[in-house]
């Protein structure tokens, strides 16, 4: 992974072969059951352990895995019909198909209930989809999209949104987007859907309100997964900073590791990392044990670890000095990659809104 991760960043290269290798080893969709090509492990094993370890060396690959596992696999397992699960899941799990989660639009990021992409029903059980999506991870390379579209009046908001599975074909227009971090594998894109035809059999869950429910539940899970990306990224920064401090000398004195301020900085990084790891794994444990309070802890974990990762990456660059500012270091890439963790799967501000609502109104009803 290490040399490929560097190439992904420098060349904006998508490692299709490496994605397939992750699929063969069960790391791409760890929550998928064996009958669909995955190992079928719980959320702690999938969105915590696997994603964290991948992100320790390539935050982008960890980011891809959490989106595919938490957004796509969960939706298919929970809301898909037999044909969808049997036809699509094995292809996604093996890496044969690239799957993408198409929710965000130019009009509305955090306000998902305001999306404008429309799906109009016509005779013969067909739907016609028109609209634009933006900042879609793996959108540039996707073979299939889990797409959310409006199927009722705009004023109905979340009560008129439906989820569809859309295969890529000539009706899909893709424009690559140049991003600050998570380069290569993330494949961020703007997607235009121009009179795309799907059938009733491509609907995921119930028409209208079922789509918004799928989006919200998958985002709750993805907040645990993206917290694990933050953990792995931060651990990679700490690994590099520790090794550097053990060998780097300055002013003719012993290595940096013998300087008290470096010791304190490394200790502080480790302390923050373990706090983040504890709350992230607790959130996953609560979900695995069907405790609805996982929603609260998922938002706490996401809020804390996203901020933590940005701070730790900055500290790592500072410890490494000039080397940390160069593209030769992991910390430089991690610093750019970390910023999206404060934005994706619900911004920091959205997490504070969720936490506040739970404080005021109690836990929401969730499907476990």
In angstroms, the Cα distances linking 100 to 115, 180, 269 are 17, 20, 34
Taking the C-alpha atoms of residue 220 and residue 47, their distance in angstroms, rounded to an integer, is: 12
- Burial of 316-337, coded b for 16+ CB within 10 Å and e otherwise, reads bbebbeeebeeeebbbbbbbbb
Q: Show which residues are catalytic.
A: 345
Taking the C-alpha atoms of residue 190 and residue 219, their distance in angstroms, rounded to an integer, is: 20
Taking the C-alpha atoms of residue 349 and residue 71, their distance in angstroms, rounded to an integer, is: 21
16-22's contacts with Cβ under 8 Å and 24+ in sequence apart are: 16/95, 16/98, 16/141, 18/61, 19/64, 19/95, 19/98, 19/185, 20/94, 20/95, 20/96, 21/95, 22/54, 22/61, 22/65, 22/95
């Amino acid at each position: 992974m290490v040399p490929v991760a560097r190439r992904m960043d420098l060349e904006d290269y998508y490692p299709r072969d490496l994605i397939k290798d992750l699929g063969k080893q069960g790391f791409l969709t760890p929550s998928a059951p064996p009958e669909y090509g995955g190992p079928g492990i719980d959320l702690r094993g999938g969105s915590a352990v696997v994603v964290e370890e991948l992100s320790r060396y390539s935050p982008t690959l960890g980011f891809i895995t959490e989106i595919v596992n938490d957004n796509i696999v969960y939706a298919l397992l929970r809301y898909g019909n037999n044909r969808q699960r049997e036809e699509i899941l094995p292809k996604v799990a093996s890496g044969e198909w690239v799957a993408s989660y198409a929710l965000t639009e130019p009009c509305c990021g955090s306000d998902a209930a305001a999306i404008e992409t429309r799906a109009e029903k016509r005779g013969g059980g067909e739907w016609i989809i028109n609209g634009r999506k933006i900042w879609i991870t793996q959108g540039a390379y996707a073979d299939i999209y889990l797409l959310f579209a409006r199927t009722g009046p705009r004023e109905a908001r979340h009560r008129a949104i439906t989820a569809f599975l859309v295969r890529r074909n000539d009706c899909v227009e893709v424009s690559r987007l140049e991003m600050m971090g998570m380069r290569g594998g993330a494949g961020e894109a703007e997607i235009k859907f121009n009179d795309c035809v799907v059938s009733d059999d491509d609907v995921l869950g119930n028409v209208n309100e079922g789509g918004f429910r799928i989006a919200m539940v998958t985002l709750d899970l993805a907040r645990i997964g993206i917290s694990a990306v933050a953990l792995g990224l931060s651990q990679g920064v700490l690994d590099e900073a520790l090794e550097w401090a053990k060998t780097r000398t300055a002013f003719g004195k012993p290595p940096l590791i013998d300087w008290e301020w470096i010791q304190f900085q490394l200790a502080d990084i480790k302390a923050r990392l373990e706090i983040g790891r504890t709350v992230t794994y607790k959130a996953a444990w609560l979900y695995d044990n069907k405790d609805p309070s996982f929603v609260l802890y998922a938002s706490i974990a996401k809020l804390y670890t996203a901020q933590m990762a940005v701070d730790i990456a900055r500290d790592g660059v500072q410890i490494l000095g000039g080397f940390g500012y160069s593209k030769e270091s992991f910390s430089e890439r991690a610093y750019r990659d970390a910023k999206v963790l404060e934005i994706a799967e619900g911004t920091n501000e959205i997490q504070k809104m969720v936490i506040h609502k739970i404080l005021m109104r109690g836990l929401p009803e969730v499907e476990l």
